[in-house]
């Protein structure tokens, strides 16, 4: 794409993967109460996610149709929504590295020098959802839906599993943890929500969106819980329409300050303006 006025904007596969999978975090109960069953510990974990207002995490694994990926992200849900993620699709070479920022309800996708070659020197593309009138369309890609919820809710999926078990104790990044594991279908998870209040039910059902988009029907999840009753790491595995899903997310910190700023205006191509100028 050679001209910001006449070019047809596009998003790399790696960017879409990052939009769809902007990670997750959760708090979780351990064996502080010896009599607590694995299922009860997981249920307690889901409740603890409500207090997480910001988090930083690392993501590594395999995403259907995208191959092997690595990413690090920060997200804040209060007092306002903000997100920053740097992601590399390792099988796609230089074009597979992208950065995503969500600031003031606008999504920015940065492709660095590779994008600048195709965008007349602009290394960032801005998606202002309200200006584009494309809130629903972008939500179908996972952008708005993923960014506008606390991904801490992801591990609530394990509350729907009937085979949750305590696997043992392991160290993750030097931290002693207790590991839990279980398998759940999306239908089983939905069924497990029937006794929850409406707000909790709607919040947890959002966790299903990204898996349904990938065509995943059943998920195997492992959770590593530290001594402070917080999940240090979790892993999700499943078979999707486009190949295997095997993603591990490690939590670096929660409820710490997160600041995200928009890219310099001179480096940004505004998709809404480009579309207006081209009459699209």
> 27 lies in a domain?
yes
> 279 lies in a domain?
no
> 8 lies in a domain?
no
pLDDT band of residue 139 (cuts 50, 70, 90) is very low
pLDDT at residue 96 above 90? no
> 7 lies in a domain?
no
114: nearest Cα among 127, 90, 96, 91: 96
Percent of the chain with pLDDT over 90: 22
Number of domains in the chain: 1
pLDDT at residue 138 above 90? no
> 192 lies in a domain?
yes
How much is the pLDDT for 132?
A: 52
DSSP 3-state assignment of 137?
helix
* Nearest-angstrom CA–CA distance, 4 and 120: 7
Size of the chain in residues: 280
Q: Which residue range forms the structural domain that includes residue 44?
A: 13-273
pLDDT band of residue 222 (cuts 50, 70, 90) is very high
- CATH value at residue 21: 2.50.20.20
> 1 lies in a domain?
no
pLDDT band of residue 156 (cuts 50, 70, 90) is confident
What one-character-per-residue DSSP string does 22-56 give?
-----B---TTSTT--HHHHHHHHHHHGGG--EEE
> 95 lies in a domain?
yes
User: Which pTM value belongs to this model?
Assistant: 0.75
What's the Cα-to-Cα distance from 152 to each of 7, 26, 78, 81, 168, rounded to whole Å? 38, 4, 14, 14, 23
> 278 lies in a domain?
no
Query: Cα-flanking dihedrals φ and ψ of residue 139, to 5°?
Result: -65, -30
pLDDT band of residue 273 (cuts 50, 70, 90) is confident
How much is the pLDDT for 169?
A: 94
Strand 175-185 relative to strand 165-172: parallel, antiparallel, unpaired?
Answer: antiparallel
Q: What is the pLDDT of residues 46-91, one digit of tens each?
A: 677 667 888 899 999 998 877 898 999 999 888 888 899 998 887 7
H/E element, 277: helix 271-278
How much is the pLDDT for 150?
A: 55
How much is the pLDDT for 185?
A: 92
Mean predicted lDDT score pLDDT of the chain: 77
DSSP 3-state assignment of 279?
coil
């Amino acid at each position: 794409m050679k001209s910001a006025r006449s070019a047809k904007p596009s998003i790399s596969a790696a960017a879409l993967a990052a939009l769809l999978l902007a990670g997750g975090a959760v708090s979780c109960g351990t064996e502080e109460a010896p009599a607590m069953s694995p299922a009860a510990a997981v249920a307690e974990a889901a409740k603890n996610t409500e207090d997480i207002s910001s988090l930083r995490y690392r993501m590594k694994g395999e995403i259907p149709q995208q191959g092997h990926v690595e990413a690090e992200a920060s997200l804040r849900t209060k007092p306002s929504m903000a997100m920053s993620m740097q992601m590399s699709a390792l099988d796609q070479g230089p074009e597979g590295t992208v950065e995503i920022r969500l600031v003031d309800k606008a999504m920015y996708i940065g492709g660095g020098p590779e994008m600048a070659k195709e965008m007349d020197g602009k290394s960032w593309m801005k998606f202002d959802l309200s200006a584009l009138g494309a809130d629903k369309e972008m939500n179908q890609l996972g952008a708005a839906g993923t960014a506008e919820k606390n991904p801490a809710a992801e591990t609530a999926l394990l509350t729907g599993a009937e085979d949750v078990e305590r696997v043992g104790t392991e160290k993750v990044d030097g931290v002693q943890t207790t590991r839990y594991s279980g398998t759940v279908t999306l239908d089983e998870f939905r069924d497990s929500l029937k006794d929850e209040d409406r707000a909790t039910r709607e919040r947890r059902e959002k966790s299903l969106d990204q898996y349904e988009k990938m065509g995943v029907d059943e998920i195997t999840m492992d959770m590593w819980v530290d001594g402070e009753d917080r999940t240090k790491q979790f892993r999700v595995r499943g078979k999707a329409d486009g190949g295997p899903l095997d993603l591990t997310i490690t939590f670096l910190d929660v409820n710490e300050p997160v600041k995200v700023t928009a890219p310099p205006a001179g480096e940004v191509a505004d998709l809404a303006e480009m579309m207006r100028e081209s009459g699209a």
